[in-house]
Structure 1
Amino acid sequence: MNDAATHLPPGAQLLGREWLGFDETGQIALIRFQAQVAFTNRHGTVQGGFLAAMLDSATGICALAKLSPDLTVVTKSLDTRFLKPAAVGPITARARVMEQTERDMVVQAELIDTKGITVADATARLRILSKK
């Protein structure tokens, strides 16, 4: 496991990111976020930009967890869909690597609320870079 998967930079701290590990298959990364009242829009639900940030964080951390410690990733694109309103509270991401070459990865993720409803999902295209 890449140590970067458990390191919390300021953005991840703001989102309340918690690395839960991989599911029993070892293929799906589980990450929990804590949506705060400060993240809400005029409707009282979590603003889409915060959900996109959670998806970006989840896809990136999933990729890092699958790479050797001398590599990192940057997001090239994040295609996001907002499916249902998201409430304040815990939101769990399920992310998995769909494709990987020497230079690129495609990672898909979904955000699931406490009722088991998928509130948003995304496909990220990531560039793999050497930390050196």
Structure 2
Amino acid sequence: MSDATATIPPGAQLLGREWLGTDENGQALIRFQAQPAFTNRHGTIQGGFLAAMLDSATGICALAALPPDLTVVTKGLDTRFLKPAAVGPITALARVVERTDRDMVVHADLVDADSIVVADATARLRILAKK
């Protein structure tokens, strides 16, 4: 894990983000804690929180793939909500699928405690020099 993934911003703290490392396929593993306060009128996790988890996971995956003098900003996040998500741990599996000198594309799946993919997203990120 690079220095860029060591500092946890307030939004990531709210989501309970925890870097777990990479799996045997090189995918970044990031766990979130979906809180009761994140639920909608149906008792499932509201889509905006799932999108925030996906944005966080794709960003942290991109940062882990970059040297510490570079950072990324999200240009677009194409999100799909596939199944209702319950309160509890949700794990993101994220991987870089494309990279140029200026841009990166990262895909992530959100998997619940029962190993069901509840949402996924493809992020388009701009690579920038850190200020």
Cα distance in 2 for partners of 1:122, 1:46 equals: 16
Structure 1 unaligned spans of 5+: none
Q: What is the alpha-carbon root mean square deviation over aligned residues?
A: 0.7
Residue in structure 2 matched with residue 17 of structure 1 by the alignment? 17
Structure 2 unaligned spans of 5+: none
Residue 49, structure 1, aligned to residue 48, structure 2: yes
Cα distance in 2 for partners of 1:65, 1:57 equals: 12
Deviation at 1:6, TM superposition (A): 2.6
Residue in structure 2 matched with residue 107 of structure 1 by the alignment? 106
2:51 maps to amino acid: A
| Total equivalences in the alignment | 131
Cα distance in 1 for partners of 2:8, 2:115 equals: 26
Residue in structure 2 matched with residue 38 of structure 1 by the alignment? 37
| Residue aligned with 2:24, SS | coil
TM-score (norm 1): 0.97
Deviation at 1:65, TM superposition (A): 0.2
Cα distance in 1 for partners of 2:112, 2:122 equals: 19
Identity of aligned residues (%): 80
Runs of 4+ in structure 1 displaced over 3 angstroms? Answer: none
Cα distance in 2 for partners of 1:8, 1:45 equals: 26
1:75-90 superposed matches below 5 A: 75-90=74-89
TM-score (norm 2): 0.98
Cα distance in 2 for partners of 1:5, 1:84 equals: 29
